[in-house]
Chain A
Amino acid sequence: MIDKTRSNKAWLFVLPMTMLVAFSAIVPLMTVVNYSVQDIFGPNTKVYVGFEWFRKALRDSELHAAFLRQLLFSFSTLAIELPFGLAVSLVMPRKGWAVSAALVVLALPLLIPWNVVGTIWQIFGRTDIGMGGAALVKLGLNYNYTADRVDAWLTVLVMDVWHWTPLVALLCYSGLRAIPNAYYQAASIDGASGWSVFRYIQLPKLKNVLVIAVLLRFMDSFMIYTEPFVVTGGGPGNSTTFLSQFLTRFAVGQFDLGPAAAFSLIYFVFILFFCYVFYTVMNRVGQG
């Protein structure tokens, strides 16, 4: 029996990366934690406050409202984008030059920088110079996304659907392409209808892909910031102020470092939680 010798030299190789991570992640994180328990106005003007910010943040009704709004938004987008993206992927061409063309067209919205997406829709929705807004007004609808909260929500939802459905569609498409032709042949031989094919072959085989799509979209929509901010600024009122904007206002606008640090730690915990869920579900799905 040969004993494996222990070599600690390997730790040296890890050292550079450790320092990099320390600089870019750990030290800033510790600074945030430090700020979160203080009320800081300047290097000479600060006072220790303990958990006051955490208590305040967790009790803040505006935070609760923003959180619920965020959940509503995430679920709405999921409810629309998943079926829609799936439907798109089913009708996409499978061979020939049309495949490349379809893929390029689908990918276009995904390539646009996010604040440009917001700007596009902000202008598009304006009733004076925007095609969409002007058309709606001409049709007789009283559309005004800056004043009416329903219109604002709809605009933000439509924008998100436009922006992200292609991702779902592309994921589902790749999943569909992975289904061996034999299944379709067998279904044809069995006399299955198009709906049966979808229900018994395509949908079950897409399960993994759909799980990924759900989780990706949920995470992204939960952190959405630039697009709604550019379109509505969080308005009218607070109706489209989602969670990340709530934080940004604290941190960047008011430079209120104490509450902002506390809230960003809370936000961090949220994200950790969702990552954990993600990880667990994916593992389970992988085994299944």
Chain B
Amino acid sequence: MAEIILQGISHSYDEKRGSTAPNLALRDVELRWRDGGAYALLGPSGCGKTTLLGIISGLIQPTRGHVLYGGKDVTMLSSRERNIAQVFQFPVIYDTMTVRQNLAFPLRNRGLATAEIDRRVERIADSLELTAMLPLRATRLTADQKQILSLGRGLVREDVAAILFDEPLTVIDPHRKWLLRRKLKEIHKQFRHTLIYVTHDQTEALTFADEVVVMQTGSVLQRGTPEALFRRPAHTYVGYFIGSPGMNVMPCDVSQDAGGARARVGTHDIALAPHTGAGPAPSGSLELGIRPEHVVVVDGAGDAGAEGSLPVSVITVEDHGRFRIVTGTLAGAGDRRLKIRIGHHGPDRALPIAAGGSIRVRFPPEHICLYRDSKIVESGELAAAEPSP
């Protein structure tokens, strides 16, 4: 087990190591993972997460940059030499062997004594609840059991540096995915290996990992706990990708005066959170983001009067059982769609919202995120407003 550091990793599949290549799969990735954590690499297809995993595992040698395990540069070492374990997209097991033999295989190759092998195998099998299946041929297991078995092969090596998962739930039936996720969490709690989990499914990433790294087109967009990613996405893409549905993003102008800053969306002014400092107004294309969950419906009646509320014409209302998704347009802001998520509990339950009607909503300033060129504007960056046109 070790701390894993990625320094300046860039990779292009077209060029060999050491050259400056145009077509980069990864751009200058810097990451540090502490020992024993559970991390997820999340992103859409083609964002470079599988490449990154390959670089970490030793399958790929990066065109530039270094990989360090516990301070040691392992960039040029093979997978075997790095002492990692990997679980693949489909179960990779040895068909001709029994479950026991599968688990014992890595240890036999390292020349351990039989007694020691048996001890470890039984211990891991116990943790993974595979003990009853030890004498069976590995092919008799179900897909999720096979993935657990693959995991087990990694776990039997007690000195394994990290366990890497490459979208391991791909071939698992949906209703059994949760079994595997639960097992992974248990294992993590028990053994505290460094786990790195690559996926394009936000649910998997958010439920599994302590920290999630969101990637897009070869770069890391944001890294943080699931909660942080949810509350304050550092990039509009992160906002869009995480959450169901994703964050509402709309272009705006920011103006500032003694009363505070406000954002103008269409014909509406929206109050922004108080900030310190003054300075020139932020330039660049500005966008305002707010999650559907954070939009507050003021009153179902739609009559004006609620101060600072915005009128929304309702287009559709989708009933998802425990919550409803309301899609509407903000009057005076063009055709931009706004999604609102309201639950069936609490005050929202009784709100009569119907398609074709109109409602009034409020954007609580503490939940508004401001973005310049897609990147979040931190508090303290907002400067003095220019006179609005």
Contacts and interface: CB of A to CB of B under 8 A. Distances in A.
Contacts of B59: 185
Given A189-B80, A190-B109, A191-B80, A204 B86 contact: no
Contacts of B79: 185, 188-189
B84, B89, B92, B105, most chain A CB atoms within 10 A:
B92
A217 B90 CA distance: 34
Given A182-B89, A196-B109, A189 B94 contact: no
B92 A191 contact: no
Interface residues of A, number: 16
B80 A188 contact: yes
B105 A192 contact: yes
Given A182-B88, A182-B90, A190 B153 contact: yes
Interface in B47-102: 57, 59, 78-80, 84-86, 88-90, 92, 94-97
Given A192-B105, A200-B94, A186 B88 contact: yes
Contacts of B150: 186
A189 B86 contact: yes
A7 interface: no
Contacts of B110: 191
Contacts, number: 48
A193 interface: yes
B178 to A, nearest CB: 24
B106 interface: yes
Interface in A190-213: 190-193, 196, 200-201, 204-205
Q: What is the predominant secondary structure among interface residues of chain A facing chain B?
A: helix
B92 A183 contact: yes
A183 B88 CA distance: 9
A193 B110 CA distance: 10
A171 to B, nearest CB: 20
A188 B96 contact: no
Nearest to A288: B139
B109 A191 contact: yes
A186 B86 contact: yes
Interface residues of B, number: 23
Contacts of A204: 94-96
A200 B97 CA distance: 8
Which one of B85, B97, B106, B153 has the greatest number of beta carbons of chain A within 10 Å? B106
Contact of B96 (A185, A186, A200): A200
Contacts of A205: 95
Interface string B200-231: 00000000000000000000000000000000
Contacts of A189: 57, 79-80, 84-86, 106, 154
Contacts of B89: 182
Contacts of A183: 92
A65 B106 CA distance: 53
A192 B109 contact: yes
A193 B154 CA distance: 17
Interface string B143-155: 0000000100110
Contacts of A188: 78-80
A277 to B, nearest CB: 25
A192 B92 CA distance: 14
B96 to A, nearest CB: 5
From A180, A190, A192, A205, name the one whose CB has the most chain B CB atoms within 10 angstroms: A190
Contacts of B106: 189-191
A201 B90 CA distance: 15
Contact of A186 (B78, B92, B95, B97): B92
A204 B97 CA distance: 11
A8 B127 CA distance: 65
Contacts of B109: 190-193, 196
B94 to A, nearest CB: 5
Interface centre among A180, A189, A201 (most CB of B within 10 A): A189
A182 B50 CA distance: 13
Interface string A158-201: 00000000000000000000001011011011111100100011
A183 B59 CA distance: 12
A155 B150 CA distance: 50
A83 B94 CA distance: 22
Contacts of A190: 105-106, 109, 153
Nearest to A181: B59
Interface of B: 57, 59, 78-80, 84-86, 88-90, 92, 94-97, 105-106, 109-110, 150, 153-154
Given A189-B57, A204-B95, 19 more contacts: A180-B90, A182-B90, A182-B92, A185-B79, A185-B86, A186-B88, A186-B92, A189-B85, A189-B86, A189-B106, A189-B154, A190-B105, A191-B106, A192-B105, A192-B109, A193-B109, A200-B97, A204-B94, A204-B96
23 contacts: A180-B90, A182-B88, A182-B92, A183-B92, A185-B79, A186-B86, A186-B88, A186-B150, A188-B80, A189-B57, A189-B79, A189-B80, A189-B85, A189-B154, A190-B106, A190-B153, A191-B106, A193-B109, A200-B96, A200-B97, A200-B105, A204-B95, A205-B95
